[in-house]
Structure 1
Amino acid sequence: MSEGFHVHGAHDHAVEHGAHSGDKLGGQVAIFTAILASVGAIVSYQGGDTQNQAMLFKNEAVLKKTQASDQWSYYQAKSNKGHLMELAADLAPAGKRDYYKAQIEKYENEKKEIKAKAEALEAESEKANEESDHAMHPHHKLAQSMTLIQIAISLASITVLTRKKWLFAVAAISAAGGLAMWGWALSV
């Protein structure tokens, strides 16, 4: 805050002046906008929180997908080694073939474990993606709610400037719509 003076916008000045002058409409608008600003702060916080949760789940999904990809690469490496052992078994003298066949069996068993781990990681990635989508779902409703609340605050401020009471009714309708959207978002 500046030390010597404070700058008000035109609507801020009109609302403040109306609230202190005993003007009933100005006082109602001041209370109305203060309540809506408080509700708007809560809605805005909840909207940001849904985005953060969705982002955390999405990051988890990407991490699990990357880990699954690493496992599939490891699986492929074991397959390549197994194929080389098959080739070696075909080319090796009879006394060495049992060694290569044992190696082939070892790689096949390792591949089964690696495949199971890769598939489990892919399932975890998919689950995290679904959680991200679910966390993001109410965000759109919260954003619409916040927009309607901001419109209501603006219309209420204009009411004090223009002295048009019908505008205050439109502001109340917009606020009611914003509150309804907020309730809807919370129920999702």
Structure 2
Amino acid sequence: MEAAEVKDLIDEAHEREQAQRRSAGRHHSEDGEEGGHGVKTSTAIYISVLAAVLAIVSVAGSNAGKELMASAIEASDSFAYYQAKTQRQISLRLAADEIELLSAGMPADAQAKALQRSAEYRQSAERMEADEGKNSRKDLLGKAKAAEFRRDHAAAQDPYFDFAEGMLQLAIVLASVFAITNKGFILWTSRALAVTGVLMAADGFTLILPLPFL
């Protein structure tokens, strides 16, 4: 979308320039016209490339934000379920201890039933710890830690993509200004911002070089 808008801006600027030249009665040689057309074409290609890179960075930043939110929710839910399982496990073990203490003064038959119930509670508590199913404490803790890792990774990536997107947008704006003014320093500033944006985007994907201010 940015490329299309800038292309329209370039076309309008050149149309105005040509109209002013016609009204003032100035004429250009064929070489001059070809040179102007070449600058216009190269600038449009440059802006289109920047817009394509910007689109990729925008998608990556959006995905990082979505992953951050989804992983944070998953980590919170998994830890909450893990804590609930832990509380249930503690409650079962406390109940088993209490039954064993109370069974000491019971008749033999009642004591046997009480001890059997106590053993069932302890087995249930141990099953919560040892089961390899998706609802075991071990599995829930692993899920929570994995979600935390993804959350932290996405949180580290997100600011790089934000800054890269801003740099590329500025580069596109300056490139469109260059197309109108034909000032060389504006084009070089645009290129410097574009290179910085691309490098920050690459660092966002890889996180090879952590920046202290992000």
**Bin for the TM-score computed over the shorter chain:** 0.7 to 0.9
Once the two structures are overlaid, the 10-residue window that deviates more, 123-132 or 158-167, is 158-167
Contact conserved, 1:19 with 1:27, CA < 8 A, in 2?
no
User: Is 1:57 paired with 2:76?
Assistant: no
- Structure 1 portions without partners, runs of 5+: 1-8
| Other-structure match for 1:118 | 137
Looking at structure 2, the residues matched to 13 and 112 of structure 1 have their Cα atoms a distance apart, in angstroms, of: 70
Contact conserved, 1:33 with 1:156, CA < 8 A, in 2?
yes
Counterpart AA for 2:140: L
Aligned counterpart in structure 2 of residue 169 of structure 1, from 175, 188, 192: 188
The SS at the match of 2:162 is helix
Looking at structure 2, the residues matched to 165 and 18 of structure 1 have their Cα atoms a distance apart, in angstroms, of: 17
Looking at structure 1, the residues matched to 154 and 179 of structure 2 have their Cα atoms a distance apart, in angstroms, of: 39
How far did residue 25 of structure 1 move? 4.0
TM-score between both structures, scaled by the size of structure 2 = 0.70
Superposition pairs for residues 145-156 of structure 1, below 5 Å?
145-156=164-175
| Other-structure match for 1:127 | 146
Change (3 A) 1:99 1:29: same
Q: How many residues of Structure 1 are paired with residues of Structure 2 in the alignment? A: 180
Aligned counterpart in structure 2 of residue 35 of structure 1, from 17, 36, 49: 49
- Structure 2 portions without partners, runs of 5+: 19-32, 131-135, 208-214
| Other-structure match for 1:15 | 10
Q: Give the superposed CA RMSD.
A: 2.8
Counterpart AA for 2:195: A
Counterpart AA for 2:85: Q
Q: Aligned residues: percent identity?
A: 20
Once the two structures are overlaid, the 10-residue window that deviates more, 83-92 or 12-21, is 12-21
Once the two structures are overlaid, the 10-residue window that deviates more, 18-27 or 95-104, is 18-27
How far did residue 45 of structure 1 move? 0.8
